[in-house]
Amino acid sequence: MTWRYRITFVGILFLFFIVIARLFYWQVVKAQELSQLGQQQYGTTVTLYPQRGEIMTSDGFPIATNRIAYQVFANPKEIKNIGETSLLLSKTLGIDQATISAELSLDRYWVPIASGVESKVKDEISNFNLSGIGFEQQYTRFYPEASMAAQLLGFVGKDEYGNDKGYFGLEGYYNRLLEGKAGTAIEVHDAFGKPILSQISQQSAQIDGSSLILSINRPIQFLAEKVLKDSIQKYGATGGMIGIMDPKTGDIIAMASFPTFDPSNYQDYSDNLYVNPFITNTYEPGSTFKPIVMSSALNANLITPDTQCPICAGPVPVGGYLIHTWDDKYFPNTTMTEVIQHSDNTGMVFVAQKLGLTRMIDYLNKFGIGNMTGIDLQGEVAPSMKPPSQWYPVDLATTGFGQGISVTPIELLDAISAIANNGHRMEPHVVTAVENPDGSLVKIPPKEIDSPITPETAKVMTEIMINAVDKGEAAWTKLPGYRIAGKTGTASIPINGHYDPTKTIASFVGFAPADNPKFAMLVILDKPTASIYGAETAAPVFFEIAKDLLAYYGIPPSGGQ
């Protein structure tokens, strides 16, 4: 009998094992799948979209925010009169009636008609009481200042999945911070699949995007854009740009450029207007580059402000070329101070030759030329410098007066700001703080990149630049009573291996008040026709803005010339 008990016992054990194994299979192996199946029976997973963070100017005003808009959709099966419905929608939404009619004739339960519809228009459509027409609330980007700082902001478009994504400028650079994180929730429904009145249970909450607080000063940005727009018209230029920076912190106070675009309707503009020319356009800076080379030679103790130029009595031959001054006027034994004052190319050839190739490249690197400044905007470029082996004697000579070398406007402004800031070069930046959705503020501290020159050299160079403003070509437009350091520039445009004699890039770079600079500014006018010279076009624009800025900051005249 014992063997029968044993068989029965083993049989029962085996049956238990099968039951346990089956339970393990359903409860452990298939647990997640069954849980999902269960959820599908009583609810639907819905995505909770986060609100995109705002972009605020230094006064806390949102220049990029969100507004409520609606998506208009239709259930074609519930439409009673396609002709009448499509006509009313067409009139209200401004869409072709045939397009709407075609959508409403489709054999579907849901068709989109229009998105980004304003609440006023939505109310108008609601009043028609059209059957089969519905609305879904959504958020769209809203720019209260319209196209102000558009190339700085960038715009919000769609990615390959149809979700919002920032492109260019701040929207592109800080997209991950601004977009936040989508969440999911379960919407409970009945056996027929209809949603029932019940609170949506969140599986994971959405996290709204963080907001950016900029160093951009709204009134100054407005002023810069207005003056630039008027000046382009006044001087017959094809475009222009202005950058204003706090040399002590690297804060970008304003950055304006024209032509520009409207970020709300970016699709109506040419692609090449999306990029910010202040950080992407490269050009030969011309005479505005001279203070950088001059201060390098001063810092290396190769010259002093009173050093006389022994080769400035006439055109200078270099490597088979003859280098002239811009107006073919020559000043024998001119001093270094006068070289900047007269914007003397031959004097700068002397300085560049004194400096030599190795030191020239070393100093330019320290000033950030050929490197990206690190500004927090998408799309910055930096034309790299040639390797030392590819420099000819004439290249060294022309670099002295800003020809044969390419820079971006932000590179030049940052380099000149180093002179204004006692020789300390700061990293330019636009965002000063990030405000998290919980209200906490993360400040971004100023960052020093390099110290290309000593404070003593910076002071000497500042005095030379003040002299250039007071006695140079742009003296006619300077502000009396203020000590402003600056330099004009009339850069030639290289075309097919030579320079175009009729078209120039007119510019002026400077900072004020020179003894304790509050701002450094670069003004560039592209191909002005009223005059090709920076002293007659860009300089008056610089001083017009500087006048208002000094009044805005409450800085009285200090008794300069």
Partner 1 sequence: MKKPALIILFLVMTIVVLSLFKTFLANRISTSGMVLGDIQQQISYYKTENAILSEKVYSMSSLTYVSKEAKNLGFVQNSGDFVLTNPLPIALKQ
Residues in the site for partner 1, rule: CB under 8 A?
A: 61-62, 65-68, 119, 137, 142, 144-146, 148, 197-199, 218-219, 222, 481, 547, 551, 556-557, 559
Q: For residues 471 and 239, give the distance between their C-alpha atoms in angstroms, rounded to a whole number.
A: 29
Amino acid in position 346: T
CB 247 within 8 A of CB 520: yes
Q: For residues 467 and 461, give the distance between their C-alpha atoms in angstroms, rounded to a whole number.
A: 10
- Closest-CA residue to 349 (of 290, 295, 292): 290
Strand partners, 491: 505
The CB-side HSE value for 50 (13 A sphere, CA atoms) comes to 21
Q: Which is nearer to partner 1, 122 or 290 (CB)?
A: 122
Q: What is the 3-state secondary structure (H, E, C) of 246-296?
A: CCCCCEEEEEEEECCCCHHHHHHCCHHHCCCHHHHCCECCHHHHHHHHHHH
CB of 366 to partner 1, least distance (A): 39
Residue 17, class by beta-carbon neighbours within 10 Å (0-12 exposed, 13-18 middle, 19+ buried)?
exposed
CB of 539 to partner 1, least distance (A): 19
CB of 556 to partner 1, least distance (A): 6
Angle between helix 290-299 and 455-471 (nearest 10): 140
Q: Which is nearer to partner 1, 34 or 146 (CB)?
A: 146
Angle between helix 290-299 and 345-355 (nearest 10): 40
Q: Which is nearer to partner 1, 52 or 366 (CB)?
A: 52
Q: For residues 1 and 233, give the distance between their C-alpha atoms in angstroms, rounded to a whole number.
A: 114
CB of 174 to partner 1, least distance (A): 20
Phi, psi of 145 (to 5 degrees): -95, 25
Q: Which is nearer to partner 1, 190 or 306 (CB)?
A: 190
CB of 470 to partner 1, least distance (A): 16
Q: Which is nearer to partner 1, 33 or 230 (CB)?
A: 230
CB of 481 to partner 1, least distance (A): 5
Angle between helix 218-234 and 538-552 (nearest 10): 160
Q: Which is nearer to partner 1, 218 or 342 (CB)?
A: 218
Q: How many residues does the chain have?
A: 561
CB of 147 to partner 1, least distance (A): 9
CB of 139 to partner 1, least distance (A): 8
Q: Which is nearer to partner 1, 219 or 315 (CB)?
A: 219
CB of 447 to partner 1, least distance (A): 30
Q: Which is nearer to partner 1, 65 or 343 (CB)?
A: 65
Amino acid in position 190: D
Q: Which is nearer to partner 1, 145 or 362 (CB)?
A: 145
Cα of 130 vs its chain's centroid, Å: 45
